[in-house]
């Protein structure tokens, strides 16, 4: 990820962006756009989780807490204070980032991976239970509804842009903008000195520290940025779906979905989480009729991908092209 991108790769990225931008002009099928919007929200979540887990080597299993905090934070501010969704999604991200700071500090003091996994999972459960218990504020498992949608505006030359359930196109472009922003932030950070320190840390904490890298500060920065991005994704989701329940946004099932996406796509790669999010969101839609089997399939996907596809889909091509021994030296 540190080699300068080849012209071929630049073309690939540009092509993907153009295809995504042009798609709503070809089809305005509500269902298709809805699936793609969800894939993009999950893509942001998956990229941000991968940023912490794949790049910074902090194996957290409780990132859905930040999704829920962003979603509920933004929705509640919007409902109670009447602020515009355009503002509250960033406030939602900020709330998630503060929570990330709070939980990041203690777990960064420990270097043991299982401790990090346990504490983040426990924290997410605290968030879920609190959201379902504070029924006066959140309406608990009955669901929080009446969440304001994004305000419309007028674009000169294009006419009025209205965010309504019937027209998915504005949501599609907004989700795409947030996705580009998130991936852009992560890529920029990975290509900066931070990124180099991260990789050094992941490959050998003691060695990195002996070279003067401040482990705690770097990791905390990544953790907070990642929580912020997940929070913004959650906030967008809240104003898009306009109904929230603790089980849907703070349940461990959501985290499992994201983990499956990243593992299938490729942990520790930039494009892996996006590919995984797209592939699995579409797969879910195919499985819609088999709803009872959905989570069973996710469980199986996680087990099979760590066993048989440890580096994910996006590295398959690379592995086929090169002889195994070359791939092995590259891994070192």
Partner 1 sequence: MTIYLFIEQIINGLIIGSTYALIGSGIALIYGTMRVLNLAHGEFYMLGGYFVFYLAVTMGLAPWIAIPTAVFGAFLLGMAIQRTTIHFLFGREGWMFSTIAATLGLSIFLQNAALLLFGEQFQTVPYYVSGVVELGQVRIPAQRILIFAVSMATIGVMTYVLKYTRLGWAIRATSQDRDAAAVVGIPAERIYMITFGIAAALGAIAAAMLAPIYSINPWSGLPILLKGFVVVILGGLGSFPGAIAGGLILGVVEAVGVQVTSSEWRDVISFGLMIAVIWWRPWGLFGQKPS
Per the CB < 8 A criterion, the answer to whether 276 and 312 are in contact is yes
Write phi, then psi, for 95 (nearest 5 degrees).
Answer: -60, -45
Q: What is the DSSP letter of 144?
A: B
End-to-end CA distance of the chain: 14
Is 13 a binding residue for partner 1 by CB under 8 A? The answer is no
Task: Provide the minimum distance between the beta carbon of 197 and partner 1 in the complex, in angstroms, as a whole number.
Answer: 20
Is 126 a binding residue for partner 1 by CB under 8 A? The answer is yes
Is 115 a binding residue for partner 1 by CB under 8 A? The answer is yes
**Cα(61)–Cα(118) distance, integer angstroms:** 8
Is 176 a binding residue for partner 1 by CB under 8 A? The answer is no
Cα–Cα distances (Å) from 197 to 107, 309, 315, in that order, read 19, 27, 23
Is 331 a binding residue for partner 1 by CB under 8 A? The answer is yes
Is 187 a binding residue for partner 1 by CB under 8 A? The answer is no
**Cα(277)–Cα(38) distance, integer angstroms:** 9
Is 123 a binding residue for partner 1 by CB under 8 A? The answer is yes
- 248 forms beta bridges with none
- Tokens of residue 134, six digits: 């504070």
Task: Provide the minimum distance between the beta carbon of 129 and partner 1 in the complex, in angstroms, as a whole number.
Answer: 5
Per the CB < 8 A criterion, the answer to whether 295 and 284 are in contact is no
Question: Pattern 262-301, binding to partner 1, x per CB under 8 A?
Answer: -x----------------------------xx-xx-xxxx
Of 65, 75, 107, 313, the one binding partner 1 by CB under 8 A: 107
- The residues binding partner 1 (CB under 8 A) are 53, 59, 61, 103, 106-107, 109-110, 112-115, 117-119, 121-123, 125-126, 129-130, 133, 252-253, 256, 259-260, 263, 292-293, 295-296, 298-303, 306-307, 310, 331
């Amino acid at each position: 990820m540190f080699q300068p991108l080849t012209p071929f790769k630049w073309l690939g990225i540009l092509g993907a962006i153009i295809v995504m931008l042009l798609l709503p002009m070809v089809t305005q099928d509500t269902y298709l756009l809805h699936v793609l919007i969800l894939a993009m929200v999950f893509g942001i979540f998956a990229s941000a989780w991968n940023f912490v887990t794949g790049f910074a080597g902090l194996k957290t299993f409780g990132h859905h807490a930040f999704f829920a905090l962003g979603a509920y934070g933004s929705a509640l501010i919007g409902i109670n204070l009447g602020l515009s969704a355009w503002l509250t999604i960033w406030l939602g991200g900020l709330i998630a980032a503060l929570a990330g700071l709070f939980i990041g500090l203690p777990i960064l003091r420990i270097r043991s991976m299982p401790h990090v996994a346990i504490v983040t999972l426990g924290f997410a459960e605290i968030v879920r239970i609190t959201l379902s218990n504070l029924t006066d504020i959140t309406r608990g498992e009955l669901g929080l509804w009446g969440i304001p949608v994004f305000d419309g505006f007028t674009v000169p030359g294009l006419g009025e842009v209205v965010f309504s359930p019937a027209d998915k196109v504005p949501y599609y472009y907004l989700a795409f903008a947030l996705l580009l922003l998130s991936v852009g932030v992560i890529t920029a950070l990975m290509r900066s000195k931070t990124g180099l320190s991260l990789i050094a840390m992941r490959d050998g904490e003691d060695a990195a520290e002996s070279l003067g890298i401040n482990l705690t500060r770097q990791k905390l920065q990544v953790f907070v940025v990642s929580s912020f991005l997940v929070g913004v994704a959650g906030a967008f989701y809240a104003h898009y779906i306009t109904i929230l329940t603790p089980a849907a946004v703070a349940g461990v099932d959501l985290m499992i979905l994201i983990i499956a996406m990243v593992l299938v796509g490729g942990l520790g790669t930039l494009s892996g989480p996006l590919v995984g999010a797209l592939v699995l969101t579409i797969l879910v839609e195919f499985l819609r009729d088999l709803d009872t089997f959905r989570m069973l399939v996710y469980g199986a996907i996680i087990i099979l991908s760590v066993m048989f596809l440890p580096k994910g889909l996006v590295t398959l091509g690379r592995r086929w092209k090169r002889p195994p021994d070359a791939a092995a030296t590259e891994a070192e």
